[in-house]
Chain A
Amino acid sequence: MKNIEQKDKPDFFESIVQKFPSEYRQAANRLNTEEMNRLEEIRIKAGEKIIFAGGFGEIDSGVTVSFKGLSLIVERILDYSVYAHMEALCKGFVTVEGGHRIGICGKAVMDKGVIKTIKEVSSINIRRSKEVQGCSKKLCQYVFDSKGKFINTMIISPPNCGKTTLLRDLVREISDRGIRVSLVDERSEIAAVYKGIPQHNIGLRCDVLDGCRKSEGIVMMLRAMAPEVICTDEIGNSEDAAAINEAVTSGIGVLTTVHGSDINGLKLSKIGQLIEEKVFKRFVFLSSVPRVGTINKILDEDGIELMPERRV
């Protein structure tokens, strides 16, 4: 843990709480400096009190937000430009300055079976974005060969085990080693691009295609940016698998994450062929026990364990 540097940017309170109407800004007064530093979430529900949650548990702010007040907060957070966030709104979340994510609940407006927008916002959940620089350091000896070439790697875990955090830092590490990286960030989670600028450190040689479908993005980056490694998050369908196959056939390294807990289960999924054909040479399994980001094991393409048990 000593080498791990935690970093927030820009300041969470500056970019989020300052955008609240003045009558709600005082809600943050209940937090002391220590709690502000450990704050992870702000939950706001129309007609209810603002809740701050984090390593300290939950704190009731004592400030109740009206339906209209909540709409004002959402409008302000969206820079009074709802149209610019429609696509993200349809997915239920938006990424704002600093890479923080705002989950939005309300009434979904459907059009021909797909969500067109969310109106009458009833609650929002503001999640603080934190990057953990250096968390991939111990993994590097397993994912680079003796010549410094990146080995195709798949990070596997159930949700909330730190896949994206590890992926992000690995992207930075690859980039910092002088390798050209193309990142297809479909959900704006990895680089958290805001107004064209990645809010997280992903390295100098990393190009980001933000908000684009993985299957299309991988092919686009392959043709446009001449990458040496392509990275993407949470692959899961046959189109993703086909795009990865195309990248690997072109001699490009691939780094990705996937939801799962064991290799056999993944072999039966739509991306199973990638594992069967030994496209990936390293499988990194993460767990949230004893804490988020724990590396349970690293397997090679033949299922041989490279690291019995180790934490990141």
Chain B
Amino acid sequence: MEYKWIVCVFIVLLSYAAGRLYTWRFTLRLQIFKELKDKFSSMERDVLFSLAYLPDICKEFGEEDNMVGRIFKNTEDIMQNENRPFNTAWRKAVEEEIKGSSLKKETIKSIMSLGKGLGEGDLEEQRKCFSQISMDLKKLINEAKEERMRLKKMYMSLFIFAGIGVAILLI
């Protein structure tokens, strides 16, 4: 009998862990957007105040070994090796890096459109582009936060209840 109880507790704990693992994607998504926001803010400073070149900025950001870093690294590679402007290179890099991820199609589309207009036109136009990027990312972050709040709770409850259900059946 004691052995049965131990297995039941183990099943509930396992379902809790599975729930945490499954809902980690919502946290990860939020982290990616926050990271993108940081990077584009830095990029804005580099462009508006140092007049740094976009490939150089991407190269610098690309030194970090995470998803966002890899997107910037690929963008720089495509710009230099395939002679593509930032917008096209960014879209391609995002597509390559994010394909197969759990992100929704609309979200991927939104990330891909972040590079629009960058590198083209004067500083005033760049300022407008960065302002738009900042707004878009803010929106994505808010959506991700809401989604995390809502879905994390729901999936966690689902997994735990499922675990409890299995445990009851066992008893």
Contacts and interface: CB of A to CB of B under 8 A. Distances in A.
Interface of A: 19, 21-22, 72, 75-76, 79-84, 86, 116-117, 195
A21 B51 contact: no
A82 B121 contact: yes
Interface string B123-151: 10110000000000000000000000000
A84 B56 CA distance: 12
B85 interface: yes
18 contacts: A21-B83, A75-B119, A79-B53, A79-B54, A80-B53, A80-B86, A80-B119, A81-B47, A81-B119, A82-B120, A82-B122, A83-B47, A83-B122, A83-B123, A83-B126, A84-B52, A117-B122, A195-B53
A72 B83 contact: yes
A116 B122 contact: yes
Contacts of A22: 83
B101 to A, nearest CB: 27
A278 B4 CA distance: 107
B112 interface: no
Interface of B: 47, 51-56, 79, 83, 85-86, 119-123, 125-126
Contacts, number: 47
A86 B127 CA distance: 14
A141 to B, nearest CB: 43
B54 A76 contact: no
Q: Which 8 pairs from chain A and chain B are nearest by CB?
A: A79-B53, A84-B51, A81-B53, A80-B119, A83-B123, A80-B85, A81-B54, A83-B126
Contacts of B119: 75, 80-83
Nearest to A84: B51
B122 A86 contact: yes
A80 B125 CA distance: 14
A116 B121 CA distance: 11
A41 to B, nearest CB: 22
A216 B85 CA distance: 36
B79 A80 contact: yes
Contacts of B120: 82
A21 B123 CA distance: 26
A133 to B, nearest CB: 29
A76 B126 CA distance: 18
A86 B123 contact: yes
A287 B119 CA distance: 43
Nearest to B123: A83
Contacts of A82: 119-122
B28 to A, nearest CB: 30
Contact of B53 (A19, A21, A72, A84): A84
A36 B83 CA distance: 23
